[in-house]
């Protein structure tokens, strides 16, 4: 009977050891899988982080390019407005000069007309004086 109990206990011990071995193997497999998964996730994180850094650098370059383009646009608009103002000022000066030339011509014409009338009056006076003597 004692021998039967010992055999039973040995059998139970053997069964428990098999179960324990299976449990350890299962735990080791899970740990191995989790380490592999962790390594994959870590590698993916590194890739994503590098991509993020590249994107941030590109974004900075694009922002700098946009800033320069905006500055160039503002400068070009300012220069265009200055050129328009200069053209407007030159047109006004040309119009004023043309008006002054026309006024000068009119003034000269009036003076010449006045001189011609005075001369005509003088000639009539001389003619009338000559006719009166004759």
Predicted confidence band of residue 111 (pLDDT cuts 50, 70, 90)? confident
Q: Give per-residue pLDDT as tens, 27-83.
A: 999 999 999 999 999 999 999 999 999 999 999 999 999 999 999 999 999 999 999
pTM: predicted TM-score of the whole model, two decimal places: 0.50
| 14-42: burial string, b at 16+ Cβ within 10 Å, e else | eeeeeeeeeeeeeeeeeeeeeeeeeeeee
Residue 93 main-chain phi, psi, to 5 deg: -65, -40
The pLDDT confidence band at residue 12, using thresholds 50, 70 and 90, is: very high
Residue owning tokens 């139970």: 12
* pLDDT digit string, tens, across residues 121-134: 888 888 888 888 76
Report how far residue 98's alpha carbon sits from residue 89's, in angstroms, rounded to the nearest whole number: 14
Is the pLDDT at 4 greater than 80? The verdict is: yes
């Amino acid at each position: 009977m004692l021998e039967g109990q010992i055999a039973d206990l040995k059998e139970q011990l053997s069964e428990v050891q098999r179960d324990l071995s299976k449990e350890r193997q299962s735990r080791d497999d899970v740990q191995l899988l989790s380490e592999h998964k962790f390594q994959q996730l870590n590698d993916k994180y590194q890739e994503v982080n590098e991509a993020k850094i590249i994107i941030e650098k590109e974004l900075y370059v694009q922002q700098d390019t946009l800033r320069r383009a905006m500055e160039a646009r503002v400068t070009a608009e300012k220069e265009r407005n200055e050129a328009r103002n200069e053209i407007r000022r030159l047109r006004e000066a040309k119009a004023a000069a043309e008006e002054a030339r026309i006024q000068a011509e009119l003034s000269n014409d009036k003076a010449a007309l006045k001189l011609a009338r005075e001369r005509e009056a003088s000639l009539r006076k001389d003619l009338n004086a000559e006719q009166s003597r004759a």
